[in-house]
Structure 1
């Protein structure tokens, strides 16, 4: 079944990683894939552009179906293989609503983390301002407090939307994994770090851990002064 799937991906990319986790959770091991370098701009190859006019990763193809947005690809996999592997979207409307809410809130957490962690990469040297970086850090701390509150309400040992691993964990864990890697102080997000330590041992996470993170376990310290 997975033999007619093709995934083009890059190491360390949360969007790519979440699709890979979804594939593992749905027991779709054995899919075809191609690891492309961001640094070498291999993702701009003709092979990817033929499927994805934006030439972005991930680019995913299943038979004649092409899905290039990571959230869309994950939801597609859940719907196409609903009875296979882990049920990632609950059937109960209230539980489902919470999963969807937290899923899309993940984009806020990811962007605010990027605004701090990759500030110097995004902003040209002549346009950088300490006041802007300080504001970005304050916004990220506020966002972290929200997620800390969510986990506190759920209770110890909970996943992001309840007692069961769900689609929000698939899409959000790759973002959360950046906080310890980039040396975010644990006191800023203790509940998230408890969650991280628990979920990183899940087989689907271990099977898809970014190769470059295995080679270089310690990342830059761009969140150290948060």
Structure 2
């Protein structure tokens, strides 16, 4: 497997996921300042010219949350996802997809100083509903799915960590405590050491 990476990109989350899994892979550093992500060679791998990208044989996976889901399913013995037949799978999918489909778009728009003119027509609604959703979905103790840390925590918790770090939100005590539990994980610390 090849992981196309730069620590100043969203690839930090997929790097963290790979460290949680402790699986062998080749890290390929893409120099964003030198615009290596815009070369024809890289654009053949990912036409968006974005990081991260995971190449596993002939399979190319882009998008942070898709890569985390792919890796969790590729290595089921690492137990980073509930079994496909598990009743927990629905909640797991919700954590994976609410992050990219709802939370990040709403926060990105707000960080740019924009407000959707008709929030009911946007897939993410409005910031008030996003904050309520975050509060309701954040676990009081442990992890998103209970006692077991999974890719849902890398995705959902990782985005909350990012949002708090870059002042996209002021976390409630419950959310702040969850983020702190995330930050105590050795794999998180190894992947985020440049920001410590």
- TM (norm. structure 1) is 0.71
Deviation of 1:44 after TM superposition, in Å, equals: 0.8
Query: Is residue 86 of structure 2 the alignment partner of residue 90 of structure 1?
Result: no
| Structure 2 CA distance for aligned equivalents of residues 150 and 95 of structure 1 | 14
Aligned with 1:162: secondary structure?
Answer: coil
The residue number in structure 2 matching 1:32 is: 27
Match of 2:110 among 105, 116, 125: 116
Structure-2 change in CA distance of 1:18 and 1:183 (3 Å) = closer
- TM (norm. structure 2) is 0.81
| Structure 2 CA distance for aligned equivalents of residues 75 and 68 of structure 1 | 11
Deviations, residues 110-160 of structure 1 (Å, cap 9, x unaligned) = 11111122x05xxxxxxx7xxx38999x92243122221223xx4x32212
Deviation of 1:198 after TM superposition, in Å, equals: 0.9
The residue number in structure 2 matching 1:197 is: 180
Structure-2 change in CA distance of 1:191 and 1:94 (3 Å) = same
Structure-2 change in CA distance of 1:164 and 1:80 (3 Å) = same
| Structure 2 CA distance for aligned equivalents of residues 110 and 31 of structure 1 | 28
Tell whether the 8 Å contact from 2:5 to 2:27 is kept in structure 1 after alignment: no
| Shift >6 Å, 4+ stretches | 133-136
Deviation of 1:52 after TM superposition, in Å, equals: 1.6
1:38-49 correspondence to structure 2 within 5 Å: 40-49=34-43
The residue number in structure 1 matching 2:68 is: 74
Deviation of 1:66 after TM superposition, in Å, equals: 1.8
Deviation of 1:100 after TM superposition, in Å, equals: 0.6
The residue number in structure 2 matching 1:17 is: 12
Deviation of 1:76 after TM superposition, in Å, equals: 2.1
Deviations, residues 10-41 of structure 1 (Å, cap 9, x unaligned) = 33433x2332122112212553221432x553
| Structure 2 CA distance for aligned equivalents of residues 195 and 172 of structure 1 | 11
Query: Is residue 159 of structure 2 the alignment partner of residue 175 of structure 1?
Result: yes
Tell whether the 8 Å contact from 1:8 to 1:36 is kept in structure 2 after alignment: no
| Structure 1 CA distance for aligned equivalents of residues 192 and 116 of structure 2 | 30
| Bigger Rg, which one | 1
Tell whether the 8 Å contact from 1:106 to 1:171 is kept in structure 2 after alignment: yes
Q: Cα RMSD between the aligned structures? A: 2.7
- Alignment coverage as a number of residue pairs: 189
Query: Is residue 58 of structure 2 the alignment partner of residue 64 of structure 1?
Result: yes
